[in-house]
Amino acid sequence: MTAVPEVTSATKSIEASAIKTVVLGFAADPMARWVWPDSTEYMRIMPQFVRAFGGRAFEHGTAYVTEGARAAALWLPPGIEPDEAAMAAIMVQTERPDIADDLGHVLQGMARYHPHEPHWYLPLIAADPNWTGHGLGGLLMKHALRRCDEEGVAAYLESSNPRNVSLYERHGFRVIGEIQHGSSPTMRPMMRMVS
């Protein structure tokens, strides 16, 4: 019988590895690759985007990883939001005029669905593609959601990949809408209420 991989908070020493895991895990993500279809551009920009979107999890001890940073989940506690200024700067720096209007509508949709009540927010979760299918995402979800349940706080995420919706549903999340405009892929905001 194989031991269940341990989930730990990412220390400063493995922060870079955890970010690389997320970058690898999103390399085929429909939304990420719609925004940055060129692989060189994606590899240059995505690490910066990961830090801006979910990097505050490292500061709060809520960036969780499995052994060897084979999978990582960046959870933002209630009251902690992504670094909006850094995200805006990245978007301006990499703006593609052909999708600018559609992307603006997607971002507005994300803001519209984002809850106002206290909640845990999961901006990013991913496994190194070499380690997908090993249950690491489920382990990361269980680890963080245990804390949500103990605190009696809801959890929220947006699924940018339709293949991941079933994983989130198995952990109590429900699709609460769809975000899509023009040429954009569909993003599904999902909420998990506490029982």
Domain CATH code at residue 24:
3.40.630.30
Q: Where are the beta strands (DSSP E) in the chain?
A: 7-9, 63-66, 71-76, 119-127, 154-159, 174-175, 188-192
Nearby residues of 147 by Cβ (< 8 Å), 6 or more positions away: 120
State how far the Cα of 77 lies from the Cα of 42, in Å rounded to an integer. Answer: 27
- CA torsion sign for 21, 24, 30, 36 is positive
pLDDT of residue 1: 47
Question: So what's the pLDDT on residue 2?
Answer: 58
Residue 31 resides in a domain = yes
Report whether pLDDT(195) > 80. Answer: no
Q: Which of the 8 DSSP states describes residue 46?
A: H
Residue 21 lies in a domain: yes
> Is residue 2 assigned to a domain?
no
Q: What are phi and psi of 141, to 5 degrees?
A: -65, -50
Based on the structure, what is the number of domains in the chain? 1
The contacts of residue 99 (CB under 8 Å, 6+ apart) are 34, 35, 182, 183, 184
185-195 average pLDDT score? 93
Is there a domain that residue 132 lies in?
yes
Give the domain extent around 30. 7-192
| pLDDT score for 55 | 96
Residue 37 resides in a domain: yes
More confident residue, 185 or 195: 185
Give the predicted TM-score (pTM) of the model.
0.95
127 inside domain: yes
From first CA to last CA, the distance across the chain in angstroms is: 33
CA distance 122 to 18: 15
